[in-house]
Amino acid sequence: MTSTVSSYDILWKWSPAIVLAALVAFFTIINPNFLSLANFARMSIAATPALLVALGVTFIIIMGSIDLSMEGIVSTTAVVFGWLFLALGGRLAEGWAWVALPAAILTGAVFGYVNGLVHVKLSIPSFMSSLAMGFVGTGIAVLMTSGERIRIEDDVFRALLLERFFGFPLMAYVGLAAVLLAWFIQRKTTLGRNFYAVGGGEHLAHASGLNVRRVRVLGFTLAGMFYAAAALLAVARLGIAEANTGSNYMFVSITSVVVGGTTLLGGSGGVWNTVAGVLIVNVISNGMVVAGLPRYLQDGVLGLLVIIAVVLSTDRKSISFVK
């Protein structure tokens, strides 16, 4: 019984990239304007905050858990950032306003940490504990803002959106850096390896002397930090921090992870799968707009996409029934 890498395995590995290329070709044929620098730059603006959220939740899904708290965490960190940023002068280049940036990341980390503790210490299934923590987060954001918007008009901070290099806004490069960081964590750190071990066999990881609970809590903490970074980009994109900032990230991010080929069972997939997934989802969303499809159809198409992706990414011969 030896294992060899078959051509099927190779095809499987590259299938997200192939699907992506096919989609780009398809939409370009429908509307040649699709394949333009301006359109791709527009896509990158929409995609980057979602990409960071998706990177965060990728680690959780590799562990075989799920995190649904991203909307709450994004909203809370966005509001905390906005409030602190204005309180400290509102200008990034002057005074202490820059402190709001690390403070936001820290807020995300604390929130994710608590999220993980609730899940692990109280033994609540992750989907339930994180969903509940997400609502708590949205609640805090509403409480802090009383439903008002916080406007961030500092042009140094908004440079993330407005400053462009080679046609792409600065935030696209921040997204790229985040991808490399996430990949480094996945590939080169003890924590990253432990995520796969926990997802591949929790009992076994435990019997190898791994502190599984700690790995889980750290996973949620790390995810919280990525959500916070996503919140900063989302604020930079709109110039507004509000209790609504996190809306819609849950579905889009989890869709992207799954479409990229990371299975919900845990133990497989990774950062590059998520990158491909985010691009596929955004190309389809953008492509539908460019192709002139009505807005109300677009969500339905994304829903179908998730089902197709899960069907394709699950080895249904090995699991005959799912709950």
Shortest CB 267 distance to other proteins, Å: 5
**Sequence-distant (≥ 6) Cβ neighbours of residue 11 within 8 angstroms:** 18
151 makes contact with other proteins (CB under 8 A): no
Q: Quick one: tokens of 184?
A: 């480094």
Shortest CB 14 distance to other proteins, Å: 18
Binding span for other proteins by CB under 8 A among 147-155, 184-192, 272-280, 290-298 = 184-192
204 makes contact with other proteins (CB under 8 A): yes
Binding span for other proteins by CB under 8 A among 107-115, 154-162, 189-197, 277-285 = 189-197
Per-residue exposure over 28-59, b if at least 16 CB sit within 10 Å of its own CB, e if not: beeeeebeeeebbebbbbebbbbbbbbbbbbb
Answer whether 215's CB lies under 8 Å from 83's CB: no
209 makes contact with other proteins (CB under 8 A): yes
- The H or E element containing residue 38 is helix 37-62
CA gap 93, 96 in Å, rounded: 9
320 makes contact with other proteins (CB under 8 A): no
* Shorter beta-carbon distance to other proteins: residue 134 or 199: 199
* Shorter beta-carbon distance to other proteins: residue 38 or 322: 322
Kindly write down the DSSP assignment for every residue of 118-140, as one continuous string: HHHHTT--HHHHHHHHHHHHHHH
Residue located via tokens 């992207």: 256
Number of residues that bind other proteins (CB under 8 A): 27
Residue located via tokens 């009383």: 146
| Selected binder of other proteins within 89, 113, 206, 298 (CB under 8 A) | 206
* Shorter beta-carbon distance to other proteins: residue 8 or 166: 8
Binding span for other proteins by CB under 8 A among 27-35, 146-154, 181-189, 292-300 = 181-189
CA gap 249, 80 in Å, rounded: 18
* Shorter beta-carbon distance to other proteins: residue 82 or 266: 266
Q: Tell which positions 257-296 bind other proteins, by CB under 8 A.
A: 267-268
Shortest CB 210 distance to other proteins, Å: 7
Q: Quick one: tokens of 87?
A: 């309180």
Q: Quick one: tokens of 256?
A: 């992207």
Q: Which residues bind other proteins (CB under 8 A)?
A: 1-4, 187-194, 196-197, 200-201, 203-211, 267-268
